[in-house]
Chain A
Amino acid sequence: MSEQKRRGAALLECCQEIPCNPCATVCKTGAITKASLNARPEFHPDKCVGCKLCVAACPGQAIFLETPDYEPGKWALTFPYEYRPLPEEGQTVTAVDRLGQPVCQAVVAAVEDRPVYNKTVLVTLVFPAEHREQVRFMKRLEQEGR
């Protein structure tokens, strides 16, 4: 397995022409470019090193990091998570689709809160590869005392 494959690559779901470019601005390798401020971003997979800076920077939370074959038969997806409480590594959670509908159970492989992410936490879920087209988020955890 190549290093790039193991680290995964960005998955862009930016679907509208809106004036926005932090994805291209934070990308240090030129893997994401924009022809103009309003153009939809272009992704150059060969240049992506899976650093996840764009995942945290996108104000629309429309970029994910996808790691195929994270384990045999398993896929990993990293997405921004700005709710509390945070999940914990190793916890089993419900993975959901783009409309919040449950897809399958998933294991939290990583919870990353780096200063460079500016308070956006990145959560990585691992789940059966067959659900890779559906899974985009996790069911939010209940807040205590609410």
Chain B
Amino acid sequence: MRVTDLLVVGAGPAGLGAAIEAARLGAKVLLVDENLKAGGQLYKQIHKFFGSGAHYAGTRGFQIADILLGQAEELGVETWLDTRALGLLDDGTVAVLRKGKVEPVKAGKIILATGAKENALAFPGWTLPGVMTAGAAQTFSNVHGTLAGKRILMVGSGNVGLIVSYQLMQAGAEICALVEAAPQITGYLVHAGKIQRAGVPVYTGHTVVEARGTGEVEEAVIAQVDERFQPIPGTERALAVDTILLAVGLNPRTELAAMFRCQTTYEGALGGILPVHDGWMRSTNPDIYVCGDLAGVEEANTALEEGRLAGVHAACALGYHGEQAQEKMNALRESLRSLRGGAHALRRLSGKERVIEKGESAYV
């Protein structure tokens, strides 16, 4: 049995932010991640980040991961990689699978930063080899140095679809088209501008209706959709592609949170079902915090700030009251407000407000 002050599950930006801030206040932190490398999705992000220049904006994602990992190490955060938190045992400890053995971990507080998983989209032929999620193609390209395909149809114009398109072009693939069912591009227009200048046609009001091929994708059929997102017969068009990538949103990985009996709610703009939390990222279980994409799918900047907030609050709850901890938490909440302050984040912001309202009522 391993005893620690704080167990953080997931070493992406949220988990790293949480571990760093809690360790800074003096808490003994154990950080576990199922991957071979910490950093979550940051290591796949070769583009320069948005956000505040006072933090890491303008820095490339993988460079941010290096900075955060360096800080965590310096602060004495113990990190177990290739390690999975399996669930809760009857005695309140967490079952952690490491090096083929289950080790119980007893922690005063637990921060869940388990991230999100990509949504799929079903259409005739979608099980053919060559249809995969945008994130899978990004992992192939940016982690393993392998192009998933040479002629690609991207489905979805959110930031994931736009950024992965750009990165795959950098790696030498051709993005034959990008389709978006909504009547307008849903990600940042400046990200869209990059691939449009490079000649990628963006078809809004269109979706993929079929993948064709013998044994693998050889053709994608796209069609215009009506205002209820139904394909309009007669508008089908075939594109010669070898790969169809799906960038149609993500949903929070809530399995562990559910096992810890954290109450959940549904917010479409935040990815679907997610654990309710208060303004300090505390779930309805006072010993469990949630942050990052698990607490609502957003982006790396908000994940990092939510993680930091959870880390500071959890450390204080454990009795590590550093000077200015309260000011720090207030500043982080202000920073989160600011990151969600733009017109583009309106639906996410109101969703978050509803989640927090429900979370606060659990503590009245």
Contact = CB atoms under 8 A, between A and B. Distances in A.
Given A98-B197, A120-B48, A22 B344 contact: no
Contacts of B53: 21-22, 24-26
B343 A59 contact: no
B73 to A, nearest CB: 23
B190 interface: yes
Interface stretch (A3-11, A105-113, A138-146): A138-146
Contacts of B194: 60-61
Contacts of B193: 13, 60-62, 98
Contacts of B57: 20-22, 25, 59
Q: Give the interface residue-count category, chain A.
A: 35 or more
Interface in A1-33: 13-22, 24-26
A37 B339 CA distance: 7
B198 A100 contact: yes
Contacts of A36: 338, 341
Interface residues of B, number: 37
Contact of B190 (A60, A83, A120): A60
Contacts of B49: 59
Q: Which of A19, A22, A140 has the most CB of B within 10 A?
A: A19
B190 A14 contact: yes
A interface, by DSSP: helix, strand, loop or mixed? Answer: loop
Nearest to A144: B172
Given A19-B50, A62-B190, A146 B58 contact: no
Given A20-B52, A22-B48, 6 more contacts: A15-B190, A21-B52, A22-B53, A60-B191, A99-B197, A101-B199
Interface of A: 13-22, 24-26, 36-38, 57-62, 82-84, 96-101, 118-120, 136-137, 139-140, 143, 146
